[in-house]
Structure 1
Amino acid sequence: MTVAPYPYPTQAVVLAGGQGSRLRPFTDDRPKPMVEIPGTGTPIIGHQLTWLASEGVTDAVVSCGHLAHVLQEWLAGAELPLNVTTVVETEPLGRGGGLKYAAASLPRPDEPWYATNGDIWTRFPLTEMAAFHLERGAEATLALARPRIPWGVVETDEFGHVLDFIEAPPSPYLINAGVYVFSAAFTALLPDRGDHERTTFPRLARERRLAGYPLPHGSYWRAIDTTKDLAEAAKELGATKS
């Protein structure tokens, strides 16, 4: 008997409605995902859509909010490597409700899907994450990152002697990286309003149907929250090209 290969998701939702108040003045006239990574000539969402397409995604639904028309105009004029549909919340639905509202526009509701926050820049093999999701029989899987602590830390021994100073070490804790794999059935589990991380995710965790996928060692991941993050992303991009 031949077993059909697992159909990796080919559709995704990008949550792109953030105001990005900590990125001002860059976000005075554009939504956060439209902020350009210095030196690339491309906004954050452009990098995301290119990455999703390279991982086999053919259709994306972009959920817009703050200054939605700016994002929609850019999408309409850009040469994109996949099909893009936009939706705009007419009233605040919360993170979970907004995700459910956007998912309703996915072209294949009976198939699994990816989702990503619109303010991250990352590169890792999404199909490996999808395989991880399947192996664990999860309804939802979230990518887990280990960001660097923004301060230098001091290492001591048990007697309080200072042993070393370490600049910006990796955090000992994993965090939600803002990239997800969802089963087709997950959409119905989302609240119409409210935050799925306070309702749906805890319930799935109790039922052992929520999985966490640690990003592979060496994978690039950065949340673009502040002007410093923009500068660091540009610096890291330059390092990879040199």
Structure 2
Amino acid sequence: MTRDPHDETYPSQAVVLAGGQGSRLRPYTDDRPKPMVEIPGTGMPIIGHQLAWLAAEGVTDAVVSCGHLAEVLQEWLACTELPLRVSTVIENEPLGRGGGLKYAAASLPRPDEPWYATNGDIWTRFSLREFAAFHAERDATATLALARPRIPWGAVETDEFGHVLDFIESPPSPYLINAGVYVFSAEFAGLLPDRGDHERTTFPRLARERRLAGFPLPQGAYWRAIDTAKDLTEAAKELGGGD
């Protein structure tokens, strides 16, 4: 858990937002929170893979924000040999995404240093160090990872006369989306609302001030949001049952 002594660019702490109910993943989430759902064949819940990834990228401390069936997640954390230090917080009342993020950030061990945050239902692998360097180079207050997911339907390519030229199965989206992974400068926590959604308040404000950056995931980087049973099946297929 040692840090690179000559570099403050790379955060060593993170918040994992793991409080969602995961209603679209039922029945898997009937008895466990969404991040505790296992991707078939991997032998580990989603959050286990996330914590391993964070640790491999230099994170030594993580704060997990719990909500739905928090005790199941807390028990797993207590009984599992983890590659980094993990603490948990529980919202006593709904604070919204921005308020929840601010509440969890208050428990970070080094409030004067930058930090990562990730949604608890994201399955991805890319270099967080490159991500943090991108953030620092732009002197951003917040930087979003941006993904280009595949469209779940087949696309039809036509010419200017309306002739069908080709059928393309599940092409990449022409638009980048918020990938649910972030790097924040230390001052970002103070800009979050006590209640409400930071994507409707803090992020638009930072964008107007040119203090919000977007980091496109490198070509070939794996990314998937685990929202439905189909996502679990597809992730297992794509990963070949391994990490």
1:237 shift after superposition: 1.0
1:148 shift after superposition: 0.1
Query: In structure 1, what residue type is equivalent to 2:108?
Result: L
Of residues 230, 233, 242 in structure 2, which corresponds to 1:231? 233
Q: TM-score, normalised by structure 2?
A: 0.96
Gaps of 5+ in 2: 1-5
Residues 193-225 of structure 1, C-alpha deviations (whole Å, 9 max, x = no match): 000000000000000000000000000000000
Could you tell me how far apart the structure 2 residues matched to 1:121 and 1:240 are? 12
Query: In structure 2, what residue type is equivalent to 1:140?
Result: A
Q: What is the Cα-based RMSD across aligned positions, in Å?
A: 1.1
| Secondary structure of residue in 2 paired with 1:13 | strand
Of residues 181, 185, 188 in structure 2, which corresponds to 1:186? 188
Contact 2:192 2:198 in 1 (8 A): yes
Match of residue 135 from structure 1: 137
Query: In structure 1, what residue type is equivalent to 2:123?
Result: W
Query: In structure 1, what residue type is equivalent to 2:7?
Result: P
Match of residue 107 from structure 1: 109
Query: In structure 2, what residue type is equivalent to 1:111?
Result: E
Of residues 86, 94, 97 in structure 2, which corresponds to 1:95? 97
Match of residue 166 from structure 2: 164
| Secondary structure of residue in 2 paired with 1:45 | helix
Match of residue 202 from structure 2: 200
Query: In structure 2, what residue type is equivalent to 1:8?
Result: Y
Residues 61-86 of structure 1, C-alpha deviations (whole Å, 9 max, x = no match): 00000000000000000110000000
Contact 2:155 2:170 in 1 (8 A): yes
| Secondary structure of residue in 1 paired with 2:15 | strand
1:5 shift after superposition: 3.4
Contact 2:9 2:136 in 1 (8 A): no
Q: TM-score, normalised by structure 1?
A: 0.97
1:62-101 alignment runs, 5 A limit: 62-101=64-103
| Percent of pairs with identical residues | 85
| Secondary structure of residue in 2 paired with 1:27 | coil
1:7 shift after superposition: 3.3
Could you tell me how far apart the structure 1 residues matched to 2:114 and 2:177 are? 23
Could you tell me how far apart the structure 2 residues matched to 1:26 and 1:186 are? 35
Could you tell me how far apart the structure 1 residues matched to 2:212 and 2:142 are? 5
Match of residue 218 from structure 2: 216
Query: In structure 1, what residue type is equivalent to 2:176?
Result: L
Query: Does residue 145 of structure 1 match 2:163?
Result: no
Count of residue correspondences: 238
Q: Which runs of 4+ in 1 moved over 4 A?
A: none
1:49 shift after superposition: 0.2
| Secondary structure of residue in 1 paired with 2:40 | coil
Could you tell me how far apart the structure 1 residues matched to 2:239 and 2:223 are? 12
